[in-house]
Chain A
Amino acid sequence: MSELTELTLAGARDALADKQITARELTEAHLARVAKADALNAYVLQTPELALQMADASDARLAKGEAGKLEGIPLGVKDLFCTKGVRTTACSNILGDFTPPYESTVTANLWADGAVMLGKLNNDEFAMGSSNETSRFGPVINPWRGAGDSQLVPGGSSGGSSAAVAARLGVAATATDTGGSIRQPAAFTGTVGLKPTYARCSRWGVVAFASSLDQAGPITQTVQDAAIMLESMAGFDAKDATSIERDVPNYEAALTGDIRGLRVGIPAEYRVDNMPSEIEELWQQGIDWLKQAGAEIVDVSLPHTKYALPAYYIIAPAEASSNLARYDGVRYGMRENGADIDDMYASTRAAGFGDEVVRRIMVGTYALSAGYYDAYYVKALQVRRLIADDFAKAYEKCDVLLTPTTPSAAFPIGDQTKDALQMYLNDVFTVTVNLAGLPGISVPAGIDAQGLPLGLQLIGKAFGEEELLRVAGVVEEAAGFTGKADDWWSV
């Protein structure tokens, strides 16, 4: 059955449609693989019974010719998405065994299109992290290993999603991206990670980290799979006041491979001194590929790039400090008893939140507090506008931007956990995109000297996912990345 787990989403869809395989077979193959993959710690909750039920229902619909766009496709779901009747924790102790009586809009869209849920995927606690080491369930291990078979992080915060897709523990996975949490883990695992335009996918039912930055998207094996996933996940949702009433195009149809005449911007500020040479070379390689495909390469400037990280590390914690106030031990989740109400709050939240979450809540609380609000929060929002304006100006000269996704390949477990700031630098190339609300995609494009995958990032115009995917498809095709981690973890 192992070949079943080698299918891409598009391949599985076509095989199901042609009745070469059944949804049940496909689901069982993935469940069997997941069952052997405890060493990766990608899943925090497996739902095999539900998966088989859903698969059987898919088979019934396939038989009747009523198949949805994702009929019978087994997926993993990041534990940030609320799933009705299935424990949802954002990988935080504070949520205890919270079992939502509701389903997030994005996952509801997937199930409505016939997808099958394999279980809930690990992530950094409340999506705060770049290595998936802050989860209450422990770190996720990257299926790719470093020198001397050292264990590496899968990136974060969607580390469960990236590891699962890289290890074929699901045909694809949902993920979320607030500062790079889809694209960075995709780059670290040789997978495709697409962060759509802000407001393209509904935030309803997704545990909030930073509301003005959070956006759901897929991690997949291929660009085509990302297009198929996005088409199902995206859409207007009246329950999200920031959702946009805008039709969802057929993204898959946009993958024509024809980018002749397209202007690709290369932002000077991303080309930094002492950048690891492999990244530099990969970036140049990407430029060459696009040029060969008929694109025009344009030098552009995003002058406020270096202020994106500090602005982000005020805005995101400020919003998070307020978004996470609801975890107070009153209505759901864990409670540590206390002498009085304030003592209960303080004990519950001290016991329920991990160190990184505490750090960010406190930074955010500080940035919003009286006397500091203007100097920190307002200042950061002003810089955010300058960053957004930078992109607007660049897009007068080009259609998409090409950059590296990350400043390095995956790093060893435990390597950066002692230094929060060091960890934050992982988002240096991705965070600008969130601040400006733009779509971005990471495509696996090469390997470093250790044999680890590296990604290139493409950044599009707001709601320019079709163009973005088209260029990503060209990069993917040109790179011909076929690397795959071996199954060392399989028991």
Chain B
Amino acid sequence: MANSDLISGATGDWEIVLGLEIHAQVSSNAKLFSGAATEFGAEPNSQVSLVDAAMPGMLPVINEKCVEQAVRTGLGLKAQINLYSVFDRKNYFYPDLPQGYQISQFQQPIVGEGAIDIDLDEGTVKQIRIERLHLEQDAGKSLHDQHPNMSFVDLNRSGVALMEIVSYPDMRSAAEAQAYVKKIRAIVRSLGTCDGNMEQGSLRADVNVSVRRPGDELGTRCEIKNVNSIRFIGQAIEHEARRQIDIIEDGGTILQETRLFDPKNGETRSMRSKEEAHDYRYFPDPDLLPLSLTQDFVDRIADSLPELPDDKKARFINDYGLSAYDAGVLVSESENAAFFEQAAQGRDAKATANMVIGSVFAGLNKAGLSIAESPVTAAQVGQLVDLQSDGTVSSRIAKEVFELMFEDGEDQGKDPAVIVEEKGLKQVTDTGAIEAAVDAVIEANPDKVEQARERPKMAGWFVGQVMQETGGKANPQAVNALVMQKLGLD
């Protein structure tokens, strides 16, 4: 399997080695060290406290919720929770970093090693090890495109809590990195510790990329900063790996550096190289004391932990008899899984899963809607599954009914039974009526009857004709049986 991830270069095969640092914004009302709000999209500098603006003499005080969320996430990553951790200052100058340092955790993070399973094609699973998770402050936002020779600074984000989740370099392809990000996102969402919104920057990744000959030592890595969509992560990795391979194959060496991904041209470029200028001078923040948690604090969080995606997936497979693939799709978002479970309550789970994935997700995807915005409720999906299961409608009609419920129009949002009734879509199971329709088709097509007797596959054509005549309402099994019988093929 690993071999399929190799990239061929001019001089042979190359292996990509990937490690990710995911920055996930902690879901909390207030910031990590101040009482200012964290809400997205406020007026510039309106959600800034004196602490966030680093006014002289201002001091940080930690938000308990952020600590809880980090512990909760650590538990979700099946990771070591460190009861003793330390906040350090990471010193560097940048206009949107008011203190001149970021409060972060360097030597003693709140969460240590863990591991998650990522879901790959065909239901295969790979374990990716987590090195650590630590809490840190976000910086403000610099706007560089508003003025020809000035940059503007908005500190609303300054001091918002982030969890930095660092993986080991265990990934070997862009697809694996994407699956990893999806899995982390699913976990933090199901835990309620981060909203996972990549467009708003609540979840973003720094991707460490290196290449090597299979079996060789690790190559020199480049870090691609702040990639903020799963698609871009794939593009950035593909481009960066190819760039590195080309350099090495041309006899060059890779410079360890920080790079930026430009979505406009799908390329990475070097950030103005100041690598040699960086020396973060980490030291314990003397404004804070070490963070000391009790086992009881951790246990209480563990007791309140919701079901994690992997556990939910296993339950869907075991209890509902779903395929690993379907279960994986359903648990990727906890809202989706909840929708499915509501729809499936008390009825055929497999049929419900098919309808949720095949009709609901497909429809939402096409319309660009979230599950919360679905015009069709979970209960209505359940009703429709019932109509199909009890033979009231055929699967084809069920699809049609769903579309009527889903799409703009007079039937949108109506219960499926009402639509079936109003439109007269009930499946025809009356053999007499079906027989009449079959007879009519046979009578009208003597030439086809001849052909069908020689090539029995032609029977399907008759079935199709009959279905068309009956507006799809005829029970397909009944039609099929009668056609075969009348043509003497049974």
Complex: A81 Cα to B57 Cα, angstroms? 8
Contact B100 A203 (CB under 8 A): no
Complex: A369 Cα to B276 Cα, angstroms? 13
A98: which of B56, B101, B151 is its contact (CB, 8 Å)?
B56
CB distance from B134 to the nearest CB of A (A): 18
By a CB distance below 8 angstroms, the chain B residues around A101 are: 50
Q: Answer whether A90 and B56 are a contact pair too, CB < 8 Å, given A101-B50, A242-B289, A328-B100.
A: yes
A204: which of B54, B57, B91 is its contact (CB, 8 Å)?
B57
By a CB distance below 8 angstroms, the chain B residues around A98 are: 56
Query: Is A452 at the interface (CB under 8 A from chain B)?
Result: no
By a CB distance below 8 angstroms, the chain A residues around B23 are: none
Query: Is B283 at the interface (CB under 8 A from chain A)?
Result: yes
Most buried by B among A95, A207, A368, A369: A368
Which residues of B, 121-173, contact A by the 8 Å Cβ criterion? 151, 153
A332: which of B55, B91, B99, B100 is its contact (CB, 8 Å)?
B55
By a CB distance below 8 angstroms, the chain A residues around B279 are: 369-370
- Closest partner residue, chain B, to A371 (CB atom): B279
Contact B283 A204 (CB under 8 A): no
Contact A102 B95 (CB under 8 A): no
Complex: A472 Cα to B93 Cα, angstroms? 46
> Chain B interface secondary structure, helix, strand, loop or mixed?
loop
Complex: A331 Cα to B50 Cα, angstroms? 11
Complex: A204 Cα to B60 Cα, angstroms? 10
- Closest partner residue, chain A, to B35 (CB atom): A239
Q: Which of A273-281, A319-327, A417-425 contacts B (4 or more CB under 8 A)?
A: A319-327
Contact B61 A238 (CB under 8 A): yes
Contact A325 B91 (CB under 8 A): yes
Query: Is B53 at the interface (CB under 8 A from chain A)?
Result: yes
By a CB distance below 8 angstroms, the chain A residues around B59 are: 203-204, 239-241
Contact B286 A100 (CB under 8 A): no
CB distance from A92 to the nearest CB of B (A): 10
- Closest partner residue, chain A, to B149 (CB atom): A340
By a CB distance below 8 angstroms, the chain B residues around A326 are: 54, 56, 98-100
By a CB distance below 8 angstroms, the chain A residues around B53 are: 331
Query: Is A189 at the interface (CB under 8 A from chain B)?
Result: no
Complex: A267 Cα to B169 Cα, angstroms? 57
By a CB distance below 8 angstroms, the chain B residues around A88 are: 56
Contact A241 B91 (CB under 8 A): no
Query: Is A206 at the interface (CB under 8 A from chain B)?
Result: yes
CB distance from B223 to the nearest CB of A (A): 18
Query: Is A377 at the interface (CB under 8 A from chain B)?
Result: yes
By a CB distance below 8 angstroms, the chain A residues around B101 are: 322, 325
Complex: A98 Cα to B153 Cα, angstroms? 19
A241: which of B62, B89, B282 is its contact (CB, 8 Å)?
B62
CB distance from B105 to the nearest CB of A (A): 15
Q: Answer whether A207 and B56 are a contact pair too, CB < 8 Å, given A241-B289, A322-B281, A368-B283.
A: yes
Complex: A199 Cα to B203 Cα, angstroms? 38
B153: which of A81, A210, A330 is its contact (CB, 8 Å)?
A330
Contact B57 A206 (CB under 8 A): yes
By a CB distance below 8 angstroms, the chain A residues around B95 are: 328, 330, 341
B286: which of A212, A331, A341, A370 is its contact (CB, 8 Å)?
A212
Q: Which residues of A contact B (CB under 8 A)?
A: 81-82, 88, 90, 95, 98, 100-102, 104, 203-208, 210-212, 238-242, 318-319, 321-322, 324-326, 328, 330-332, 341-342, 345, 365, 368-370, 373, 377
Q: Other CB < 8 Å A-B pairs besides A82-B57, A100-B56, A207-B56, 18 of them?
A: A81-B57, A88-B56, A104-B57, A203-B59, A204-B58, A212-B286, A239-B61, A241-B60, A319-B286, A325-B93, A326-B54, A328-B95, A328-B100, A331-B55, A341-B151, A368-B282, A369-B281, A377-B283
Which 6 residue pairs are nearest across A and B when measured between Cβ atoms? A325-B100, A368-B281, A211-B286, A212-B286, A326-B54, A205-B57
Query: Can you name 11 A-B pairs with beta carbons within 8 Å?
Result: A100-B57, A104-B57, A204-B58, A204-B59, A319-B286, A322-B101, A322-B281, A331-B98, A341-B151, A368-B283, A373-B283
Q: Which residues of B contact A (CB under 8 A)?
A: 50, 53-62, 89, 91, 93, 95, 98-101, 151, 153, 279, 281-283, 286-289
